[in-house]
Structure 1
Amino acid sequence: MGELSYPKPEGVAPGNGYSQVVTGSGRWVAISGQVPFDADGELVGAGDAAAQAAQVFANLERCLAAAGATFADVVKLNFFVTDVAILPAVRVARDKYVDTAYPPASTAVQVTALFRPEILLEVEAYAIVAD
């Protein structure tokens, strides 16, 4: 794991379930947006935000492992959802993987559509791993 710190900026409200700032040193890892596909490229959880989120986070974990990283190294998550109403289900899945005492910085954006209409979310991750 890289050396990470979580400074608290003055004059900025604390994040609810995310950190406003995460810094660190080490090797930078960027994970492309992951969608709810299994290893065969089949959609998992059609119409089910919780099942899709679980698959997305499992995919992120596999991608991080391939880079020699874990969720403890993640400094930023970007969420793209077709409806912000699914964010509670996404947070449940996320909280199984991230340290909720020191969560990564995050951005959540509602989009009109993703590349296939049955996909409800896509999540990308950035990590810093010790050299």
Structure 2
Amino acid sequence: MTIQRQNPPAPHATPGYHHVTAVSGRTTVHLAGQCPLGLDGLIVAGDVLAQADQVVADTATALRAAGATADDVLRTVSYVATADRAVLFAVWDQFTGSAIGPAFSTASTLLGVTCLEYSGQLVELDITAAVS
């Protein structure tokens, strides 16, 4: 019943995430992609960082509902509708500095994409966790 995270000597060093995450003796939890929607079902007002904050809040709620915490996350995939690396890194910094920041120390991918599902949506987060 452990989660092991490691960085082998190759490939490259990482800025905080791990290349490999392995789990044994747990139940795997897959969250649906968390979108920056308010309770009214509309994209939250504000910029990409405001949307990232909503995604963080919703992800924390979903993890709690599954009996998990950010420390139980095995993999994150972050999607940001941008081709601007500065925006990508701003969202990454927002995520890693948030209440679910430990989730991003695991196997993580950050992608700039052309568009996401909802009109005006700039951020989405896909998470896999494991619980006892």
TM-score normalised by length of structure 1:
0.86
Task: Tell me the CA shift for residue 72 of structure 1.
Answer: 0.7
* Secondary structure of residue in 2 paired with 1:92: helix
- Structure 1 Cα separation of the partners of residues 112 and 128 of structure 2: 20
* Contact 1:14 1:20 (8 Å CA) reproduced: no
* Secondary structure of residue in 2 paired with 1:6: strand
Q: 1:3 to 1:45 in 2, by over 3 A?
A: farther
Q: Deviations over 1:52-92 (max 9, x none)?
A: 00100111111111111011101111011111432233123
* Contact 1:18 1:104 (8 Å CA) reproduced: yes
The residue number in structure 1 matching 2:129 is 127
The residue number in structure 2 matching 1:45 is 45
Task: Tell me the CA shift for residue 7 of structure 1.
Answer: 2.0
Q: Indicate the percent of aligned positions where both proteins have the same amino acid.
A: 33
Structure 2 residue runs of 5 or longer lacking an equivalent are none
The residue number in structure 2 matching 1:86 is 87
Q: Deviations over 1:76-110 (max 9, x none)?
A: 1101111143223312331222238x802111222
The residue number in structure 2 matching 1:69 is 68
Q: Choose the corresponding residue for 1:99, options 99, 102, 119.
A: 102
- Structure 2 Cα separation of the partners of residues 17 and 90 of structure 1: 15
State the Cα RMSD in Å.
Answer: 1.8
TM-score normalised by length of structure 2:
0.86
